[in-house]
Structure 1
């Protein structure tokens, strides 16, 4: 079909692959239509040939916002084709993005929690207090070991919680539904962390419904903020902003910390779209809300334990990366990492990968490679696709720049693949 962009992107197979965000299919169809090798396509999108091969075979998912942007720009995907893959102006999400795959809810838990389960035991406040403590402990454990070891445990724990519904009486009924909502939100986060988008969307939707049923405005808003985070991860800045704003207006009475999370998510969406002034305005607003939250931490929901000045400094660094202000990104991410406790192993791995990427973009090849190679063992152990893809993106930057450290970094990534 040659190299005419209009002819290429009018092909239904290629347009459908973009609609479904199946980047492996996009690569295969584009190479076939344009007559390119994997190496030539990799040059256009800033990836090495083995990475192109892995994406085509489904061995690696595209979860990095930066990699997605490079693919869009490198292949010249027209805005009309991108718009077809984005949410409509009515706010409805395309059917393809709602298709359940992978470890999605395997039964209708909503029906279970709102119907009577026979022979259930009576539930008391002490039992629910214990489940609150157990969930908090699992959240902390996930910070250290990542999501993979905990998913099955949490799914079984949620089943236990919803089975308690019929045994609850009076105010305990709302407590059980609230507890189910918090479990579903945590399961959604773990699915999102492992790049299982469909499962994450399903669990966030379920958590949101239960939060509304229980009258928990903070959780209802948090689920929308986390869906905004998913939109940001997929490179959809506009949808990220809309969902973040919805988190702010749709659940009145939320805590300053929950409002601050929504504000910083809106800032990230603006930054992703290159709207620097709006991004900085929202970041300043979020910082003010964080200050309010820190004055009365007892008023914040328990799942906001991580939301403090250190975490926010790291978010400023991420926004700077989207705005391609690499020096500011390096300064903020470095400061945040220095203050982040060691028990946040998962987050440290992610932000170190981002730091290595920002350093590479600055031209600090030696330092970038050093940070990346120190992060690779943790990224492999925790098994977080986002960190892994960010490290590969950094290696591609070094390769494009002809840095001598690129081959050593790529070799180490291959060793741990």
Structure 2
């Protein structure tokens, strides 16, 4: 492959997949970029086509040192990606390339000294920590929450160490940054099914947001607590928290209001109130359109919020309401427009699509959608995507479809 391999291995998603040892993703993306079949890829790395297929599906793990060596040599992986040089591990987590967000040498020294215990705070240091948090949020979309928890705990400690030395507006900014970190930690706890820890972190984030006068973060924490209530099947609590998110903090941006309105719609859908759900969804869509016209008014953590995300949320509401065709239409449209960088979200919505297809009686399509997302659901989608696939298997079994047994068998292989 020669120089072509260098160009290929400059692809950030391919490098990220290699860094986290996700050989299924490496094979799939490599084949797509090179335009080769599973058989041709197998010839390059000394594996049978069936072995390549099993690795891509996640039913075979690459654990042998010898097999790893054959793969990396056959795919012409640059040595520096294997020995640490330019591999993304030079950043805080796999998939983050530190050079593209690193401060100048003097600022890097100050940030490093903060990690070691210094309490010096200044605006450039906080600017860099803001950027670092934004990069970690985007990394979590791709690699899931588990690799990031310890990193973010340490990063929050760094922020808190800055507070005693900060005064005036700088102190408010430190508290605001701490609130953002706590909200992110809460979300990651929620993603891993740790509801108690999530509530504790959301409460801490809300308290700090109020102290810093950050209406958008105060509202967001309430919306996310509503999301937590929704995930626990508590529709009325979801509605009440979402309404509090929308109205209790004056000065909230249109996008954050829209998220709260959509979250309340989830609660109504969960309670089986289609009129209430669709009314609020229509309201949320108007707020999204207004927010899109003034993106500068939106906080940085709302980067994901837009028409695609809203279409997927509408599909989720229709799923709760049992309108299978509307759910399938919205979920299919949204998934078609959702970038691959949102790997965790794609996994979740694919699992929801499988559920909707099973509800509609489209059993073969439901099985295909479920199997397509099963490896990612196992790797980064537990417990939520994983649970949704089990629901899909249950629906198919109740319908007496053979696909239900097939899906259940596939799920057991990953347990």
TM-score normalised by L of structure 2: 0.71
SS of the residue 2:147 aligns to: coil
Counterpart CA distance in 1 for 2:374 and 2:133 is 29
Q: How does 1:52-67 map to 2 (within 5 A)?
A: none
2:130 corresponds in structure 1 to 132
Counterpart CA distance in 1 for 2:274 and 2:407 is 32
1:341-391 CA-partner distances (Å, limit 9, x unpaired) = 000000000000000000001000000000000110011111421000000
SS of the residue 1:156 aligns to: helix
Counterpart CA distance in 1 for 2:165 and 2:120 is 4
Choose which of 226, 246, 249 in structure 1 pairs with 2:247: 249
Counterpart CA distance in 2 for 1:384 and 1:214 is 34
2:226 corresponds in structure 1 to 228
Counterpart CA distance in 2 for 1:383 and 1:317 is 19
Choose which of 186, 189, 197 in structure 1 pairs with 2:187: 189
1:341 corresponds in structure 2 to 339
> Is residue 299 of structure 2 the alignment partner of residue 311 of structure 1?
no
Contact residue 125 and residue 172 of structure 1 kept, 8 A: yes
Counterpart CA distance in 1 for 2:308 and 2:158 is 35
Segments of 5+ residues of structure 2 without an aligned counterpart are 1-116
Counterpart CA distance in 2 for 1:172 and 1:277 is 46
Q: How does 1:261-410 map to 2 (within 5 A)?
A: 261-410=259-408
SS of the residue 1:188 aligns to: helix
Counterpart CA distance in 2 for 1:280 and 1:383 is 28
Q: How does 1:17-166 map to 2 (within 5 A)?
A: 120-166=118-164
1:113-168 CA-partner distances (Å, limit 9, x unpaired) = xxxxxx84321100000000000000000000000000010011111111110111
SS of the residue 1:230 aligns to: helix
Counterpart CA distance in 2 for 1:120 and 1:153 is 19
SS of the residue 1:235 aligns to: coil
1:231-260 CA-partner distances (Å, limit 9, x unpaired) = 111111111110010011110110000000
2:258 corresponds in structure 1 to 260
1:174 corresponds in structure 2 to 172
Counterpart CA distance in 2 for 1:123 and 1:137 is 21
User: How much is the aligned-residue C-alpha RMSD, in angstroms?
Assistant: 0.8
Counterpart CA distance in 1 for 2:153 and 2:366 is 39
1:9 corresponds in structure 2 to none
Q: Which of structures 1 and 2 has the larger relative contact order (alpha carbons within 8 angstroms, sep 6+)?
A: 1
Counterpart CA distance in 2 for 1:320 and 1:129 is 41
2:414 corresponds in structure 1 to 416
TM-score normalised by L of structure 1: 0.71
Aligned residue-pair number: 299
Contact residue 238 and residue 269 of structure 1 kept, 8 A: yes
| Runs of 4+ with deviation above 3 angstroms | none
Counterpart CA distance in 1 for 2:366 and 2:255 is 33
SS of the residue 1:204 aligns to: helix
Counterpart CA distance in 2 for 1:240 and 1:404 is 36
SS of the residue 1:402 aligns to: coil
SS of the residue 1:164 aligns to: helix
Segments of 5+ residues of structure 1 without an aligned counterpart are 1-118
Q: 1:383 to 1:335 in 2, by over 3 A?
A: closer
> Is residue 197 of structure 2 the alignment partner of residue 199 of structure 1?
yes
Contact residue 148 and residue 383 of structure 1 kept, 8 A: no
Counterpart CA distance in 1 for 2:268 and 2:387 is 23
1:159-198 CA-partner distances (Å, limit 9, x unpaired) = 1111110111221000100000000000000000111000
Report the CA distance between 1:402 and its aligned residue.
1.1
Report the CA distance between 1:303 and its aligned residue.
0.1
Counterpart CA distance in 1 for 2:208 and 2:119 is 22
Contact residue 165 and residue 173 of structure 1 kept, 8 A: yes
